Structure 1
Amino acid sequence: MKKIALLITILSIQNLVAQLYIKSEPFVHTYSIVARDSVTGEMGVAVQSHWFSVGSIVTYGEAGVGVVATQSLVNQSYGPKGLALMKQGLSPQAALDLLLKKDEGEMYRQVAFLNSKGEVATHTGDLCIAEAGHRQGKNFSVQANMMLKNTVWDAMANAFENTTGSLSTRMVAALKAAEGEKGDIRGKQSAAILIVKGEATGNSWEDIVMDLRVEDHKYPLYELERLVKVHEAYDYMNKGDLAMEHGDSAEAERMYLKAQNLIDYKIEMKYWYAINLLNNKEYDRGRTILRSIFRTNRNWKTLTSRLVKSKLLNIPDEELQKVMRL
């Protein structure tokens, strides 16, 4: 009888602990990847989940330090505390071990740390809802819990290792591989990607390479993939703007054309490319593009006249008048 009473007591305590953590912390069952680009040194974390605004809960990163993914029954303190410990010089494993030791709910946690050296540490608690697991590789770790199948993390790892291209491309490929294995047993709702530089610049606003979130969407991963492409295009646009500012119209044209080739449906891409053509004295080509833009929205014509005063459009008056008559 004493043994039965003791067993009932233990089970009651375990159930109470489970209820405590479930009630007090986000229930983010998901799949994610932390990874480093061995060429650029950039570090990233990407995630998808059947949970609203997963990026605001799971993803953390700091240039020159590392990235963190904290999920399952989320203890968000692993993000800032993990980064702080790695910044002090602790390895990902030492930092993770220290935090796990102080966490009474560690059996419900799934956490991954990666530092600027590409070292990783991962923890999947014993009470994470099946199917749950992780796999580490060179410069990356993939992890998942509450999946329909236990093939998710291997599929993610294989996709990351066998995909070429930028870090964002490879991480998105890993997420798509997870979804290809049916992913989260509940479905999907939000996704996010955060990439930081391998070395800090000293200016925090320059240290984030990419920070994109899909908060609530029927197909969050595919929307995230689209936003990654748009982000890349606008990065070229920004470089084109900078080249124009420095008076390098040839470089500006090259950057604007790259942006346009990525997403040619954005009017603004075509517009600045046309303005740069005018600055390069390719008046006929520039006017041809502007004519179609002005027909779509006359506000672009109003903007064009204002560029002269800002010295972003430098063409003779006679050419400007031809543009204004379009």
Structure 2
Amino acid sequence: MKSFQFIFALFLSQVVFSQVYKSSEPLAHTYSIVARDSVTGHMAVAVQSHWFSVGSVVTYGKAGVGVVATQSFVNPSYGPKGLALMEQGLSPQQALDALLANDSGEMFRQVAFLNTKGEVATHTGSSCIEAAGHRQGKNFSVQANMMLNNTVWDAMADAFETTKGDFSDRIIAALRAAQEEKGDIRGSQSAAILIVSGKATGNSWEDIIMDLRVEDNDNPVEELARLVNVHHAYDFMNQGDLAMEEGDSKKAETLYLSAQNLFPDNLEMKYWYAINLLNNKEFEKAHPILKSIFKQDINWKTLTSRLIKNKLLIISDEELQTVMKL
């Protein structure tokens, strides 16, 4: 088996390091979290900053490998290079040490690595702007710089460790905890969350569990939380679509209703729930829902008649005419 030293040498010979501080580098002073879900194996990196489109420069992840947050005076190369080193078999600490050793601007960096085992490595450079620091825990690391208060990273860690529920909800709880401690001294602007699978399939649509960004918003963490909730709702919609394809309209009905409960004002979610009620011959329940939808947007009525051809709606001609008169 090749030694880590040999892998190191091979990797370093194939890439050119230009990791020095440049005044043009993004000033993504921020707080972030890298974490692993011990139940699913999913890995996440999430961030908030008073900087436009912070997710485009801070968050990196690869299914079956790990996640990276690179911030402060950002050197974006820590993302792809760190993932490449971990994919070669180096631990997060070994990978981070290798990059720091070749970076004359390391004192300006704040970086966190996490791998599929939940192992973490974190660096807060000596020249990161106060308040700056990090805290590691089982399956996670939280880090922050240019905070108003030095309580941010502890609050984030406590929130992640104690919050119950879905993995993404625990991540959002950590970001909210930072905001409750006044967060970035400059305020808020953008946020992002990236979740990848612990095992790679090679199919990006399966390997990327969630990839959401708020590029410019007065309250980016709350907007990100809203988008996470919408994402959960559409997960139910996608599962409902699959159930429809398989001809299991009862299962689809349950899934569409779950989506609707999360996103009650969305007409499309109400619509597909009602269509499944029709397929299940629950006409009395479906009709008032469809009537309300058609009143708000007549195009849904036009769509309904077209579903017959694709066998997504299986009802008699008589019943279809009843629906068309709603």
Fold-level similarity (TM above 0.5): yes
Q: Does 1:105 align with 2:121?
A: no
CA displacement, residues 47-79 of structure 1 (integer Å, 9 cap, x when unaligned): 000000000000000111100000000000000
Query: What secondary structure sits across from 2:130 in the alignment?
Result: coil
Equivalent residues of 2:21, 2:104 under 8 A apart: no
Counterpart position of 1:248: 248
Larger radius of gyration: 1
Q: Distance in 1 between matches of 2:24 and 2:48?
A: 22
Q: Distance in 1 between matches of 2:99 and 2:291?
A: 61
> Which one is further off, 140-149 or 277-286?
277-286
Query: What secondary structure sits across from 2:308 in the alignment?
Result: helix
Identify unmatched segments of 5+ residues in structure 1. 1-19
Q: Does 1:43 align with 2:43?
A: yes
Q: Distance in 2 between matches of 1:176 and 1:314?
A: 46
Q: Distance in 2 between matches of 1:267 and 1:278?
A: 16
- Tell me the CA shift for residue 283 of structure 1: 1.2
User: Which runs of structure 2 are paired with 1:27-66 in the superposition (5 Å)?
Assistant: 27-66=27-66
- Tell me the CA shift for residue 310 of structure 1: 1.2
- Tell me the CA shift for residue 166 of structure 1: 1.3
- Tell me the CA shift for residue 287 of structure 1: 1.2
> Which one is further off, 278-287 or 146-155?
278-287
Q: Distance in 2 between matches of 1:183 and 1:302?
A: 49
1:324 alignment partner AA: M
Q: Distance in 2 between matches of 1:216 and 1:83?
A: 27
Counterpart position of 1:152: 152
Counterpart position of 1:196: 196
TM-score of the two chains, using structure 1 as the length reference: 0.93
Structure 1 stretches of 4+ moved >3 Å: none
1:118 alignment partner AA: G
Q: Does 1:173 align with 2:173?
A: yes
Query: What secondary structure sits across from 1:300 in the alignment?
Result: helix
Counterpart position of 2:80: 80
Counterpart position of 1:318: 318
- Count of paired positions: 307
Q: Distance in 2 between matches of 1:200 and 1:141?
A: 22
Q: Distance in 1 between matches of 2:296 and 2:40?
A: 41
Counterpart position of 2:283: 283
Q: Distance in 2 between matches of 1:292 and 1:204?
A: 38
- Computed over aligned residues only, the root mean square deviation of the Cα atoms, in angstroms, reads 0.8
2:139 alignment partner AA: N
Q: Distance in 1 between matches of 2:230 and 2:238?
A: 12
1:271 alignment partner AA: Y
Identify unmatched segments of 5+ residues in structure 2. 1-19
Counterpart position of 1:14: none
Q: Distance in 2 between matches of 1:311 and 1:42?
A: 36
- Tell me the CA shift for residue 288 of structure 1: 1.4
Q: Distance in 1 between matches of 2:196 and 2:165?
A: 17
Q: Distance in 2 between matches of 1:204 and 1:236?
A: 19
- Tell me the CA shift for residue 22 of structure 1: 5.1
Q: Distance in 1 between matches of 2:314 and 2:81?
A: 52
2:173 alignment partner AA: A
1:75 alignment partner AA: N
Q: Distance in 2 between matches of 1:259 and 1:24?
A: 44
Counterpart position of 2:17: none
